Amino acid sequence: MVPEYKKIRLRFNKLGPLKFISHLDLDRTVKAAITRSGVKIEYTHGYNPRPHLVFSLPAALGMESVCEFLDIKVAGMEPDEVRTRLNGALPPDLQIIEAYEPQTDFRQIETSSYVINIVSPDITEETPQRIINMFASPVIVEKRTKKSETGTAPFDIAPYVKITKCEYDGEKLVMNVSAAASNSVYINPDYIIKAISVNLQISLIDPQTSLYTVLRTEVYCQDGQLFR
């Protein structure tokens, strides 16, 4: 009897050392955990069957996230049990927050929100305002693209970035940012940080004195609704 598979969406976080693993590494890590958990999922067909995993646009290397998505097809198990089982087999820095039968499609994702922290001796009380001013005009970065021969092309990221908070607490600069994350335009938050660093001459090189972190907090659809 062919078991009936049901699509289940997993929202998970990716923290700590896991922020430095590539998409391929994440794929292998999750596959091994699914095997350990005993959750039976659908395999690809063909000569060399592999577990069938579909990820949404993954967090970039170096970024932490509490809002990553993965769709799997599971037979004979409710989402809640899938979540409990998988969490038992997954590393502590990669845990499933929610599991449910999805009504939406990853293609509906339009923007992502991030919390960015920046520490550098070059940051001053004026920095937040200067950042806001900077994004009121075009901010040109060398953006990676497959279309150009050199692999990058100048691109104005300002229209695709919305800064909702930008404060300096005397120690670190804290920004809440929402940026395009659709299939057609995706702004890696590293571009925002790099542009700030270059334009406002904020050095981020010395590990003793500087640091920046990015956390992806949410993902939204076109109409501004939370994506689930």
Partner 1 sequence: MFYKDTLLKQVLKPGRYTGGEFNQVIKDVNKVKCRFCFAFPDTYEIGMSNLGVRILYGALNEDPDIYCERAYAPWVDMEEQLVKHGIPLCSLETGTPLCDFDILGFTLQYELCYTNVLYMLRLGQIPLLSAERGEDDPIVIGGGPCSYNPEPVADFFDVFSIGEGEEALVEFSHLYTDMKASGEYTRQKFLRAAASLPGFYVPCMYDVDYNEDGTIKSFSPKYDGVPEKITKRIIKDFDKAYFPTKPVMPYIECVQDRITVEIMRGCIRGCRFCQAGMIYRPIREKSPQTLNEQAKQTFDNTGYGEISLISLSTSDYTGLHDLTDKLLSWTDENMVSLSLPSLRADSFTDELMQKISSVRTTTLTFAAEAGTQRLRDVINKNITEEEVLKACRVAFAAGKTAVKLYFMIGHPTETDEDIKGIADLCKHIIDAFYELEDRPKGKPQVTISVACFIPKPFTAFQWEGQDTLEEFRRKQKLLGHYCDDRRIKYNYHDADGSIIEAALARGDRKLSAVLLEAERRGMKFDAWSEFFKADKWFSLFEDCGIDIKFYTERKRDTGEILPWDMIDCGVSKAFFKREREKAYEGITTQSCAEACAGCGANRLGGECTWCPNTKK
Q: How far apart are alpha carbons 84 and 80 in whole angstroms?
A: 6
Q: Which long-range contacts (CB under 8 A, 24 or more apart) does 157-162 make?
A: 157/187, 157/191, 157/192, 157/195, 160/185, 160/187, 161/135, 161/187, 161/192
Residue that the structure tokens 């799997």 belong to: 72
Residue 195 Cβ vs partner 1, minimum distance, rounded to whole Å? 16
Using rule CB under 8 A, residue 29 touches partner 1:
yes
Residue 30 Cβ vs partner 1, minimum distance, rounded to whole Å? 10
Of 91-150, binders to partner 1 (CB under 8 A) are: 91, 93
CA dihedral 83→84→90→92, nearest 10 degrees, is 110
What φ, ψ does residue 106 adopt, rounded to 5°?
Answer: -55, -25
- Looking at 7, 23, 54, 62, which residue binds partner 1 (CB under 8 A)? 62
Of 65-94, binders to partner 1 (CB under 8 A) are: 89, 91, 93
Residue with smaller CB distance to partner 1, 75 or 136: 75
The interface mask with partner 1, positions 145-184, x = CB under 8 A, is ----------------------------------------
- Residue 71 tokens read as 């769709």
**Strand pairing report for 64-75 and 211-221:** parallel
- Looking at 18, 74, 157, 179, which residue binds partner 1 (CB under 8 A)? 18
- Residues that bind partner 1 in the complex, under the rule CB under 8 A: 16-18, 20-22, 24-25, 28-29, 31-36, 43, 49, 61-62, 89, 91, 93, 204-208, 210-213
